[in-house]
Each structure stands twice: as C-alpha cells, then as structure tokens.
Amino acid sequence: MREEKRNKLLIFYASQTGNALDAAERIGRESERRGCPVVVRPVDDYDARCLPEEDTVIFVVSTTGQGDTPDSMKVFWRFLLQKSLSKQWLEGVRYAVFGLGDSGYQKFNFVAKKLDNRLLDLGATAVVERGLGDDQHPSGYEGALDPWMRSLWRRLHQIDPSFFPQGPDHVIEEMKLIDQPKVHITYHSIDNAASRLSNASDLEGIRMQLETARSMSAGKLSNYNNKAVCFLKMIKNQPLTKSGSGKDVHHFEFEFVSAAIEYEVGDVLEVLPSQDPAAVDTFIQRCNLDPDALITVQHKEMKNYLPDIHKNTTEVPIKLRTFVELTMDVTSASPRRYFFEVMSYFATAEHEKERLQYFASPEGRDDLYKYNQKERRTVLEVLEDFPSVQMPFDWLVQLVPPLKTRAFSISSSPLAHPNQVHLTVSVVSWTTPYKRKRTGLCSAWLAGLDPQQGIYIPAWFQKGSLPRPPPSVPLILIGPGTGCAPFRGFVEERAIQSSSGPAAPIIFFFGCRNEDDFLYRELWLSHSLNDGVFPEAKGGGFYVAFSRKQPQKVYVQHKMLEQSQRIWNLLLSKASIYVAGSATKMPSDVWSTFEEIVSKEGEASRDSAANWLKALQRAGRYHVEAWS
C-alpha cells in the first residue's frame, strides 16, 4: 500500500520557448482554484527513477524543430527509453499528457505522442486522452487546453473525489489567491558594492550585471546557468540584398572580445538583444517605478518535497532599470492570458475591469487572441490600453514574458576565420491584421548597429542540429534563403580541407526569389569552378532556383529532380544530406522530393524509398535545421 503523498498533483513541463511553462502554470492554478494542491516543476528538476512512487502526474511538453524533444527533457526521455524498464514499471501510476505544437510542421506534437505511448508501454494508466495544442488554432494552444482541462478535472473527480472536495466545477474566489505572487522584491539602500555593480561600464562590470540580473530570473532563464556568456564586438554589418528586393538580409561579422570560444560549423549562436531604451523608460514611468532603485529578486520557495532551484541566492543588488532591460521583454513579446486576469484585479476603471475579465474568461478567449497574440501587442502597449491598472512590480516581474535570446545558425568556419564568428540574418518584418508594422526585436537591432560604436553583444554558443561532417563524406546541401547560412561555413571549411588533402564533393541547392536576393552569389559561383568544392566533374555542383525570375515558380525541389542521377550517385557514395531553412513546408517538400528520387533511381516503390530515407536518418546521414 502506498504511503500518503504530500501533494495530489505533480505537474512537469518541458519547454523550449516558455509556452509549456505557461500552460503548466495555468493547469496548476486551475487545480488550486478547485482545492487541489499542486507542484509545478521542469522535468529536468526530477529524478526519473522516482516516477513509480508517484500517484498522479501531468506532463506538459512542447515539440521543437522537426519533432525534436526540448533540451530540458532529453535526459528524462533517455531514461524512459531504457530497455531494462519492465512493462509493469509504472503500474499504478496515473498520468495525463498535454502537448504543444504546430500543425504546420510535419511531426505535429511528436514529443507528446511519443511520451504518451511510452508511459502506456511502461504500465501507467492514462487519466484522459492526450491533449494536443496547436499554434494554428484561432486561440493558439489554449483552444485545446481549455476543453482538455475540463475533461481532466471531471475524470480525476470520478477516480477520487478527494482531488476536488467540493466538485470539479467549484472554483475558489480568485482574490484569495491573487495576493500571493511567487516573486519577492527587496529594495536596498546604496552601498559601495551595489554602487559599483549598478554603475559598471567595463566588460567585467557588464558581465556581472548580466549574470546577476538573469540569475534572479533563474526560474525562466535557467539554461544560462551552465553556460558562460561570451561577449562579441561587431566588425562588419553588410547588407546582402538589394533595396526593393522585398527582403532585407545582412551579413554580420563579430570578433571575440574576451578569449575565443571554440565552436564548429553547424553550431548555433544565441544573441541577447537590446531593447529600445526609450521604450524601457516609458514602461518604468507607466508603472510608477524608480529606475535607480536597487533591488534583489527572489522566487518564493514552494512548500513541497522538491528542492527549490529557482530561489535566488545572489545578494548583490542591481538597478531596477537594468533588471527590466536585461530580463523583462516589455517591447516585443505579447503577455499571456494570466497577465490580463491579474490586471483585472488591479483595474480601477469599471469598463477596463469588465473588458479584462472578459478577455480572461473562456468566452473571451478568441477575442483576446485576436487583440493580443495576432497583433503581437507588447506588454507596454497593453498597459497603455488600460491606464487605470497599476500592477505591483512583483506581479510584473512574475508575469512579463522573459527577454529571450534569439538563435542563429553560424555562417562561418573557425578554420577560415580564427577569433571570429559570422551570422546571416534576415530582418524580420510583417504587418498585423490591423495593419500595424512590426519588426523582429533582435534582427532589427543588429541591422541598426554601427560597427564603429563598439557595442558589446552578449551571446552563447550551442550545438545545432547539423553536426560537423568529416572531409571524406560527400555532402548534399539544401538551403533556400537564409538556410544557406550554415552551409557558407561548411563550404569554407571544405575548401581549407581540400587544400591540404583529398576532400569529398559537395552538391548544393540554393533558392531565392531573383538576382536581388541571391545571397553570397560570388562565393558560390567561385566554388563552382574547377578548383572549388562544387565542380560537376567531381560529382558535385551548385544549382540555384529562382522562384520569381521567370513566369513559373522554380523551387529547390525542382532543381533536385533535374539532378536526380547526380544525387543518387552521391547517396550511393555514402553522402550525408543537410537541409536548412524555413520550417513550414520546405523540409517536408524536400523529403518528398528525395523519396521521388530514391524511388526513381533505385527502381523501388515509394514506401520502400521512404523507409530507405528513414534508415538514412537513423544512421545520422539526414539532418534538418529549420526555423519559423
């Protein structure tokens, strides 16, 4: 017989961008409102060996890239896949899975589906059918989350009425919970140490400010705790596209300010963008905050049996303005639904209170999505739309989306450019349904920097999805648009390797609209000559698809079909395939084209061709790095 558990519901989340965390916290709040205590924790904060001892566990997991597991879940998932675990290992454990994904991707909610199947295989019992949130839904993932939660509460109450003593539909008045933010702000008087930190302008001082501020937000930015920040200085900002082309792509070159970091082609650089200082000042004024106040931020310890890794142990205060600037995204990210709910309790104008309560209700969910996410309204814009709301700073720290890094494929080889790293960045811009012009925070900021300014740019190096190939492996590269970025590094490296010994050929399929956005044109064409890495005489080649240069649209897959025999010969020579670029249709279209080529050239059925490619993928010879 199991001993009585201190908590009824254990909620684990695995998040890459923060959506799964938000969904998990929402499930936790809704459970507490019905009288059932919960613990909400990241899955990497748990020893998977203890899973058989739990009663009821809820998993909220996102799917990243092309069906990939979030970084924070990889250790947990590897443990669950062990063959030594029996089919009765989780017998008696109840569970529920909610996934977050995008049906525009080929492997929609793949991680949630795999987790659900594996838990069943290990003997666990599903409380309800898995829920699959979809970014394409008019209300985003909440379109599936709301009905899934209703089913979950009803089913749990049927299983054990003690989950919700007054029934699954009885909700505690929110004001009893609203006065307890999870964040505590301490204000400090000025002392010498704090003064030095708050006014530092040298590199070491900037590093201390950054690490201090972001360690206080460790609950949402914990992936930075194990990686040291690297500071870069921009030395080149070169537009790659012609004005009027409809695209604005820049080539950036950076030098390492401190010691050079070792990286490989195929790696990813994460950059922390700078917010508009005027907008940060406006936010601080709107919220009646003192920008020069010295603060420390602590995440209140939750009363449960898991260690509180989010509690901030940093004692050195930091300026409030610096904390906002480095950790709180007030100028580009849209607030979550709970932000509007909490706002409603601090609204003093009745019409504002009613509108906020409607937005936070199930009936107002779709209208909120149109007002907020579809328009990408920022925290500052929302607060300005509801002037009677004065939210305490501790609530703002808890609810304002964290300022996140932006990841870019590295477009250089360290062999070709020692002490440097290069990026190829498209400046993101779009028009909202209400015709408001928007630009991407990081890409627009980088494009606007003058290398002469000498600004220090904080960055972190990460392993990407494209492993560095040895020189003996032939390569088939498909990279339309800025998907060519990592392959610039591949080509630079292969060129250096071929100068000192034999190197296998490369065939590269690049796509763009027309000559005006033909990125790195001279580089690719120079390597198409006999002494380059693309010569057709050696089995390689460079082929460009112009989608708008002629009446009929031509994409990379059309050029691939034209070179069907050449691709097949390279595949028979143990070539590896690398695909990079837009995540929507391109990766699945390219996969389908490879199926067609393998079927035709290998004289096999389409199903056999698909299985052959899957085997290639399992063998580590088919790699995809895609972004939305």
Contacts of residue 196, Cβ cutoff 8 Å, sequence gap at least 6: 205
For 276-279, which contacts have Cβ atoms below 8 Å and span 24 or more sequence positions? 276/331, 277/325, 279/330, 279/331, 279/380
Q: Does 62 carry a binding-site annotation?
A: yes
Examine the domain organization and report whether 139 and 218 are in the same domain. no
Q: Domain holding 278: CATH number?
A: 1.20.990.10
10 forms beta bridges with: 39, 57
In the structure encoding, which two tokens stand for residue 586, read together? Answer: 């391109």
Residues 501 and 597 in one domain: yes
pLDDT at 137: 84
526 is in an annotated binding site: no
Report yes or no on 458 lying in a domain: no
Residues 139 and 239 occupy one common structural domain: no
Output the domain CATH number for residue 547: 3.40.50.80
**C-beta neighbour count of 3 within 10 angstroms:** 6
Q: In angstroms, rounded to a whole number, what is the distance separating the alpha carbons of residues 44 and 14?
A: 8
- When pLDDT is cut at 50, 70 and 90, the band that residue 486 belongs to is very high
Q: Judge whether 409 is annotated as a binding position.
A: yes
336 is in an annotated binding site: no
State residue 173's pLDDT score: 65
Classify each residue of 143-154 as buried b or exposed e, where b means 16 or more C-beta atoms within 10 Å of its C-beta.
Answer: bbbeebbeebbe
Mean pLDDT of 66-94: 90
What distance in Å separates the CA atoms of residue 153 and residue 551, rounded to the nearest whole number?
A: 57
If you average pLDDT over residues 99-105, what whole number do you get? 85
Helix (H) / strand (E) containing 562: helix 556-562
Average pLDDT over residues 212-221: 71
Known binding residue 445? Answer is: no
pLDDT tens digits for 493-504?
Answer: 999 998 888 889
Asked, for residue 178, whether it belongs to a domain, the answer is no
Q: Which of 399, 421, 440 corresponds to the end of one domain?
A: 399
Q: What is the pLDDT of residues 260-270, one digit of tens each?
A: 788 999 999 99
- Kindly state whether residues 13 and 131 are assigned to the same domain: yes
Identify whether residues 494 and 375 lie together within a single domain.
no
**Cα 291 to Cα 294: distance, rounded to the nearest angstrom:** 9
Per-residue pLDDT at 224? 47
Alpha-carbon distances, residue 321 vs 187, 200, 390 (angstroms):
13, 14, 18
pLDDT of residue 162: 84
pLDDT beyond 50 at 312: no
In a domain? residue 294: yes
Is 332 one of the annotated binding-site residues? Answer: no
Q: Which amino acid is at 539?
A: G
CA distance 383 to 282: 11
Residue range 58-74: mean pLDDT, rounded: 86
**Is residue 100 a contact partner of residue 20, using CB atoms and an 8 Å limit?**
yes
Report whether 92 belongs to an annotated binding site. Answer: no
If we measure between CA atoms, which residue out of 326, 586, 332, 346 comes closest to residue 482?
A: 586
**Could you tell me how far CA 347 lies from the centroid of its own chain?**
33
Q: Which residues contact 485 (CB under 8 A, 6 or more apart)?
A: 408, 409, 410, 411, 423, 424, 479, 580
Q: Are the beta carbons of 234 and 254 closer than 8 angstroms?
A: yes
Residue, of 539 and 179, whose pLDDT is higher: 539
Q: With H, G, I as helix, E, B as strand and everything else as coil, classify residue 207.
A: helix
For residues 488 and 549, membership in a common domain is answered with yes
Residues 6+ apart with CB under 8 A from 45: 306, 307, 309
In this prediction, residues 22-34 reach a mean pLDDT of 88
The answer to whether residues 517 and 381 belong to one domain is no
Higher pLDDT, 574 or 258: 574
Strands (E) located in 445-552 = 456-462, 475-478, 506-512, 541-546
Q: Which amino acid is at 134?
A: D
Q: Domain for residue 86, yes or no?
A: yes
Residue at 322 is within a domain: yes
Q: Percent of the chain beyond pLDDT 90?
A: 61
Structure-block tokens of residue 164: 């919700």
The whole-angstrom separation of Cα 361 and Cα 126 is: 28
Residues 38 and 137 reside in one and the same domain: yes
Tell me what percent of the residues of the chain surpass a pLDDT of 70: 92
Residues 153 and 296 in one domain: no
Q: Domain residues for 21?
A: 9-172
Helix, strand and coil percent figures for the chain, each rounded to 5: 40, 20, 40
627 in a labelled binding site: yes
Please tell me the distance from the alpha carbon of residue 561 to that of residue 568, in angstroms, as a whole number. 11
Gap between the Cα atoms of 154 and 169, Å rounded = 8
What does the pLDDT average to over 118-142?
91
Distance CA 413, CA 274 (A): 26
Residue 15 known to bind ligand? yes
Neighbours of 582 (CB within 10 A): 15
Mean pLDDT over all residues of the chain? 88
195-209, 254-268, 272-286, 342-356: lowest mean pLDDT where?
A: 195-209
The arithmetic mean of pLDDT across residues 189-198, rounded, is 58
Token pair of 611 as six digits: 């299985």
pLDDT at 314 over 80: no
Task: Convert 225-278 into a string of H (helix), E (strand) and C (coil).
Answer: CCCCCEEEEEEEEEECCCCCCCCCEEEEEEEECCCCCCCCCCCEEEECCCCCHH
Query: Does residue 324 have a pLDDT over 80?
Result: yes
333-343: average pLDDT: 91
Q: Is 89 annotated as a binding residue?
A: no
Rounded Cα distance between 133 and 330, Å, is 26
Q: What is the CATH number of the domain that holds 144?
A: 3.40.50.360
Specify which of 100-104, 127-131, 133-137, 206-210 reaches the highest per-range mean pLDDT.
127-131
State the helix-helix crossing angle for 337-346 and 350-360, rounded to 10 degrees: 150
Tokens standing for 181?
């933010």
Confidence of residue 309 (pLDDT cuts 50, 70, 90): very low
Q: What are phi and psi of 484, to 5 degrees?
A: -75, -15
Instruction: Write the DSSP string, 324-384.
Output: HHHHB--SSPPPPHHHHHHHHHH--SHHHHHHHHHHHSSTTHHHHHHHTTTTT--HHHHHH
37 belongs to a structural domain = yes
Residues 6+ apart with CB under 8 A from 76: 14, 43, 44, 46, 48
86 is in an annotated binding site: no
Closest CA to 403 of 100, 24, 17: 17
Annotation-wise, does 65 bind a ligand?
Answer: yes
Mean pLDDT for 199-205 is: 72
Mean pLDDT of 146-166: 90
Question: C-alpha distances in angstroms, 377 versus 380, 382, 438, 554, 578?
Answer: 8, 7, 10, 36, 36
In which element (H, E) is residue 423 found?
A: strand 420-426
* Final residue belonging to a domain, choices 399, 422, 454: 399
Identify whether 266 is part of a domain. yes
Whole-number Å distance between alpha carbons of 44 and 117: 20
What is the amino acid identity at position 512? Answer: C
19 is in an annotated binding site: yes
- Domain co-membership, 48 together with 102: yes
Question: Would you say 36 is a known binding-site residue?
Answer: no
Most confidently modeled range among 65-79, 214-228, 331-345? 331-345
Domains contained in the chain, number: 3
Q: Is 135 annotated as a binding residue?
A: yes
Residues contacting residue 30 through CB under 8 Å, at least 6 positions apart: 149, 153
**Residue 165 DSSP symbol:** T
Among residues 152, 172, 192, the one where a domain terminates is 172
- Per residue in 528-576, pLDDT tens? 887 889 988 888 999 999 988 778 888 999 999 999 999 999 999 999 9
Minimal CA–CA distance to 618: which of 579, 576, 584, 586? 576
Contact 236, 252 (CB under 8 A): yes
* 238, two tokens: 């070169």
Segment 270-306, tens digit of pLDDT: 999 999 999 999 999 999 999 999 999 987 654 333 3
Mark whether 488 and 582 lie in a shared domain. Answer: yes
Decide: 331 and 407 in contact? Cβ < 8 Å. Answer: no
Under 8 Å between Cβ of 105 and 112: no
Q: How far apart are the first and last CA of the chain?
A: 49
Q: Give yes or no for a contact between 238 and 248, defined as CB atoms under 8 angstroms apart.
A: no
The residues, any chain, with a CB within 8 Å of residue 402's CB and separated by 6 or more, are 18, 217, 220, 221, 327, 328, 329
Residue 548, annotated as binding a ligand: yes
Q: Are residues 296 and 156 in the same domain?
A: no
Q: Do the annotations mark residue 64 as ligand-binding? A: yes
Beta strands, E only, 323-397: none
* 2 marked among binding-site residues: no
